[in-house]
Amino acid sequence: MKKYKAFSKVNVFLKISGKRGNYHEIVSRFMRVNDLFDELSFVSKEKVGTNSNEFGIIGDFACKTEENTIYKAYKALKSATNSEALEKLMQTHAVMVEKNIPAFAGLGGGSSDAATYLKMCNEVLHLGLSLNELAAIGLQVGADVPFFIYGYASANVSGIGEVVEAYDEELLDFEVFTPDVKIATPKVYSAYRENFYEPIDGFATQKLKETPSKEILQSMSAKEANDLFAPALQEYKELKEHYRQGYFFSGSGSSFFKVKEKEA
């Protein structure tokens, strides 16, 4: 059965631009990490010895099926399409996930898996949904899902994740490391709102959106580039022990990254 790659991402910069109800509006540059990805495929339940009609996910996940982003993507897709073929597919097949992207890491693993699952279903079942329609369904699962639906190598992402604009630049090669610190994103955002809230203005936003990622990583510090780094350090003191000079912080963490040095 065909395998589909679900790539990870890093946030080259992540700035808060305002609030929308309980959500924070962001402006961020997402860039795909080419050498870190999960692989998804559909496998016949008969072949793997599961005859249950229930939704099946095979992979190294700590959460219950109902909490898994792939299952949430299935529910959102089912609700949007009322597809009988989708229901039938998931009664006879399970989703096999070869998991390489660490969880709770700021690398978008769960969002990428959800986006990849939606695209797989669209292709296999000939649902005929456009990328915009898939992105709208994906947004119900998580704010980062639309970026992975569109499949851009680099993009400016704003709003609560629903505005994804391709950014034309060379794809950088990243060195990524994820310390064993499980970070709860809502906790970091809450600390940001209480103690660090200082939204970026429109002029600064526009300048960042126009600046190449390489330039941003050469001219900003980790704290300047990511508004969530300071609140994450406040809430998870052990992060400080893992921080290395020259590295940047992705999402709400706990992953750090830097551009790989070119070999001479």
Instruction: Give yes or no for residue 173 having a pLDDT over 90.
Output: yes
Say which of 9, 15, 72, 258 is annotated catalytic. Answer: 9
- What are 23-70's pLDDT values in tens digits? 899 999 999 999 999 999 999 998 887 767 789 999 988 888 899 999
Burial of 230 per CB tally in 10 Å (0-12, 13-18, 19+): middle
Predicted confidence at residue 47, as pLDDT, reads 84
Cis peptide before 79 (omega within 30 of 0): no
Assess whether the region 4-166 and the region 174-259 belong to the same CATH fold: no
| Percentage, residues of the chain above pLDDT 90 | 87
- What CATH number was assigned to the domain covering residues 4-166? 3.30.230.10
pLDDT in tens, 92-119: 999 999 999 998 899 999 999 999 999 9
110 is in an annotated binding site: yes
Q: What is the mean pLDDT of residues 177-202?
A: 94
Catalytic member of 119, 144, 227, 258: 144
Q: Which CATH number fits domain 174-259: 3.30.365.10, 3.90.1300.10, 3.30.70.890, 3.20.20.80?
A: 3.30.70.890
| In the chain, domain spans | 4-166, 174-259
**Is there a catalytic annotation at residue 9?**
yes
Q: Determine whether the annotation assigns residue 179 to a binding site.
A: no
pLDDT for position 196: 96
Query: Residue range 194-223: average pLDDT?
Result: 96
Q: What is the 3 state secondary structure string of 21-87?
A: CCEEEEEEEEEEEEEEEEEEEEEECCCCCCCCCCCCEECCCCCCHHHCHHHHHHHHHHHHHCCHHHH
**Is 258 an annotated catalytic residue?**
no
Lowest mean pLDDT among 46-55, 75-84, 181-190: 46-55
* Pair of tokens at residue 20: 């929308």
Residue of 185, 149, 145 lying closest to 161 (CA atoms): 145
Phi, psi dihedrals of residue 12, rounded to the nearest 5°: -60, -45
Q: How far apart are the C-alpha atoms of 141 and 157, rounded to whole Å?
A: 16
The pLDDT value given to residue 248: 98
The annotation status of 138 as a binding-site residue, yes or no, is no
Q: What gap in Å lies between CA 123 and CA 43, rounded to an integer?
A: 16
Query: Is 103 annotated for ligand binding?
Result: yes
* pLDDT greater than 70 at residue 264: no
Any binding-site annotation on 49? no
pTM: 0.94
pLDDT, tens digit, 9 for 90 and up, residues 130-168: 999 999 999 999 999 999 999 999 999 999 899 999 999
Q: Which pLDDT band holds residue 263 (cuts at 50, 70, 90)?
A: low
Q: Residue 250, annotated ligand binder? A: no
Q: What is the pLDDT of residues 211-260, one digit of tens each?
A: 999 999 999 999 999 999 999 999 999 999 999 999 999 999 899 999 99
The three-point CA angle 10-195-221 to 5° equals 40
**pLDDT band, very low/low/confident/very high, at 129 (cuts 50, 70, 90):** very high
- What's the CA gap between 45 and 209, in Å, rounded? 46
Q: What is the mean pLDDT of residues 183-210?
A: 94
